Structures are given as structure tokens and as C-alpha cells.
Amino acid sequence: VPGIVGLGEAAEIAGKEMRQEYSHVKKLRDELENKIKDNIDYIRFNGHPRERLPNTSNVSFEFIEGESLLLNLDLKGIAASTGSACASGSLEPSHA
């Protein structure tokens, strides 16, 4: 019984920390997207504006080659991709 009580307490603490982390990461994502929107023309944010993961931004840049963008982001230490993970390495468009 003490183990079950301890597990319940641990789950409660973990849930609280996850909610705090979710809010923090969402705030960082929103700040990033606002900076992009305010400084770059011809962009589009893809997906639902509110119902989405807090740690993911999906952005389309018109008139910019994806590979060139990736190379420049990589040189600055920024992780990015031009497609979904399920299409990694494929030349065909993703179903996702």
C-alpha cells in the first residue's frame, strides 16, 4: 500500500511539472512564431492555430528553397526539416 500511495504522489507531482513545462514551451514557440511573422514576408504557419503541440512549429516560406534554408539553419545550430519524420529520406511527398 505505501508503494501505491507513493506512486500516486509521484504521478501528481509529474503532472504538475508537465503542465508547467507545457506552458513554458508553448510561450517560447509563440514568441518564435511572432518573431518570424514580424520579420519575414511570404510565410505561412501550417496547421490549426491553437490545437497543436507546444513544441512544434510548421512554417512554409514562399520563394525559398528548402535545402538552402536547412543548410543556413544548420550552420546556426537550429534543427529543422523539410518534411515529416515519416518521410525522412524519401523524395516523395509525405502522407502526413
State pTM to two decimals.
0.68
Rounded to whole angstroms, the Cα distance separating 26 from 91 reads: 32
Residue in the structure block whose three cell numbers are 507546444: 54
Cβ proximity of 47 and 58 under 8 Å: yes
Instruction: Examine residue 65 and state whether it is found in any structural domain, yes or no.
Output: yes
Quote the cell numbers at residue 44: 505561412
Digit-coded pLDDT (tens) for 49-80: 889 999 999 999 999 998 999 999 999 999 88
Q: Is 79 a catalytic residue?
A: no
Q: Tally the domains of the chain.
A: 1
Residue 28 pLDDT greater than 70, yes or no: yes
In a domain, 30, yes or no: yes
Query: Which one of the listed residues 86, 89, 92, 95 is annotated catalytic?
Result: 86
Q: What CATH code is carried by the domain that includes residue 64?
A: 3.90.1150.10
Sort 5 into a burial class: Cβ within 10 Å, 0-12 / 13-18 / 19+: exposed
44: pLDDT strictly greater than 90: yes
Residue of 56, 50, 63 whose CA lies nearest to 81:
56
Residue 91 belongs to a domain: no
Tell me which residue range forms the domain holding 10. 2-80
What mean pLDDT comes out for the span 42-55? 92
Residue 63 lies in a domain: yes
pLDDT of residue 91: 61
In a domain, 87, yes or no: no
Instruction: Report whether 79 contacts 93 (CB < 8 A).
Output: no
